[in-house]
Amino acid sequence: MEKLPKDLQAALEKLRDYMHNFHPDLDRGAFPVEFWRNPDDDLYWETLLYFPLFVPEETRAALDSLPMGFRIAFPVFWLEDDYQVNGDTALTNAGEWLLPSAIWAFTEIGMQSEVRALHAALESVRRNPEDDEAAGAAYRAAAGPNQGDEREGVLFAFFTANRALFEA
């Protein structure tokens, strides 16, 4: 882990502590700082869901210098989390700063229907950056399979099969 930036290392330690507080019945060792090395698929997945919330601004600005797992996970799970909380507003929140990265990440995962839907949302955001409803409508009009539970299954399968992408 010494190859990761110090701010990201500190963030991963905070994430570990957060996850342990979420599951006080589990030993602290159930949550390694290098979360991708967690042998429990469900705990690994749950940690991934919270990962973007702990990524500091400095790391966000340098995502391209990190191992591929971080570059894929950040935009995917940032968008997933924001969508759960804010619905279509997540698309305009992501806007030009994050949607291109999310499109790239979903391309790497192989979720082409999500790539098409996010491209449509990005074009809508470019036309009118404040119109949440239009961005959501464009996304849904272009969306195909891999939505809902099926979508989560595809993401779970990808990230559990590709833990090595986080190695520095």
To which residue do tokens 């464009």 refer? Answer: 138
- Going by C-alpha positions, the residue among 92, 47, 94, 76 that lies closest to residue 146 is 76
For the stretch 103-139, pLDDT in tens is 999 999 999 999 999 999 999 999 999 999 999 999 9
pLDDT at 146 over 60: no
The continuous run of DSSP H or E covering 145 comes out as none
Q: What are the tens digits of pLDDT across the range 42-82?
A: 999 999 999 999 999 888 888 999 999 999 999 999 999 99
Residue range 83-93, pLDDT digits in tens: 999 999 999 99
The domain segmentation of the chain, as residue ranges, is: 6-166
Q: Is residue 65 classed as helix, strand or coil in its secondary structure?
A: helix
Sign of CA dihedral 76, 125, 64, 56: negative
Q: How confident is the model at residue 3 (pLDDT cuts 50, 70, 90)?
A: confident
* DSSP secondary structure string for all residues of 4-60: S-HHHHHHHHHHHHHHHHH-TTS-GGGS-SSGGG-S-HHHHHHHHHHGGGG--HHHH
